[in-house]
Amino acid sequence: MKCTHCGKKQGKNLKFCGDYGEPLPVSVSEKKGNRLMPFFLGAGSMLLVCIVLFEMFLVSPFHVKKTGQDDNGFDSPEAAVEAYFTGLRNSDLDAMVNTFAISHYVENVDLEALINRSSSYAPSMSPILPSSNDLFFGLNIERQRSKIANSILRQIWILGDLPFESSYTITVVSSKEYESEYNAEDIVNILAESYNSDALLEISDLEFKSIDDLTDGSYSDDRNQKNIALMCQLFGANKMESVAAEFKYKGKEFLFCCDVAQYDGRWYMLELGGCATVIMSMGSSNGGIRAN
């Protein structure tokens, strides 16, 4: 290639004249390469953007069908209950909730049959919506988790052994007609002392009991077993059972009852309380426990 200023031939790949320092003309091949460079850079950038968007699509909560955390399950109903109590003793809410069949329940429950069985549709139902899309499925998951958390809260209320009824509203402002026994500070202090998380470590001596012995055989009668079979079909479970156990806490003995369900050959907690508590008239607002 020659310098356009002095006319001397220059070496290959030089950009400037060796004698005068003037810029050398660009060859045809270099022009082609320069034209292609932006193309390759642009294509590479587009590919990178596509990969990033693809990854975002895969992991974004707006596109992933949310599932519960009940993927592992347990070998037996008793193992599920033991895992629940381990979480309770350790004040580990996630560990307790994760023993339940949340995603399995939401995926398999028959909402139409549930409404027919209840003879009504109420905002308090779980699930509240047909799981026909990712949004509804996610909302149903959160509804079921909330229902379980509320049951655990009721259980904690019972264990707290409060000096007032936790199921009633407590008026803290006195009037001519009514003199309040507690003020706001009293209530906060009572709750703080009653629900010290370390206290739950005192839960001990978990011992499983026969449901038939506790219900005088009513649990195993044909009518109740037909009802359990119907609920099993309603919830889309392989099997359902009620489990009962006694435990000690702060020197007192308590009875615990729950329903468990089997999905895909694995056992999960299904409901605190459940069928056995109905037979024994334990009530539905105590989280499946009562003091003996």
Q: What is the sign, positive or negative, of the torsion defined by CA atoms of 254, 258, 262, 266? A: negative
What is the pLDDT averaged over residues 182-195? 82
C-beta of residue 267 within 8 angstroms of C-beta of residue 84:
no
pLDDT tens for each residue of 165-187? 655 677 777 666 667 777 888 88
Residue that the structure tokens 């895992």 belong to: 83
pLDDT for 64 beyond 50: no
Report the alpha-carbon distance of residue 128 to residue 136 in Å, rounded: 9
C-beta of residue 240 within 8 angstroms of C-beta of residue 183:
no
pLDDT for 30 beyond 50: no
Residue that the structure tokens 């209320």 belong to: 157
pLDDT tens for each residue of 252-281? 999 999 999 999 999 999 999 999 899 998
Q: In terms of C-beta distances under 8 Å and separation of at least 24 residues, what long-range contacts does 111-119 make, across chains too?
A: 113/233, 113/234, 114/234, 117/230, 117/234
What does the DSSP assignment read for 174-231? --SS---S--HHHHHHHHHHHT-GGGGGG-EEEEEE-HHHHTTTGGGSHHHHHHHHHH
Give all strands (DSSP E) within 13-108, no chain letters. none
What does the DSSP assignment read for 120-153? S--TT-SS-S---SHHHHHHHHHHHHHHHHHHHH
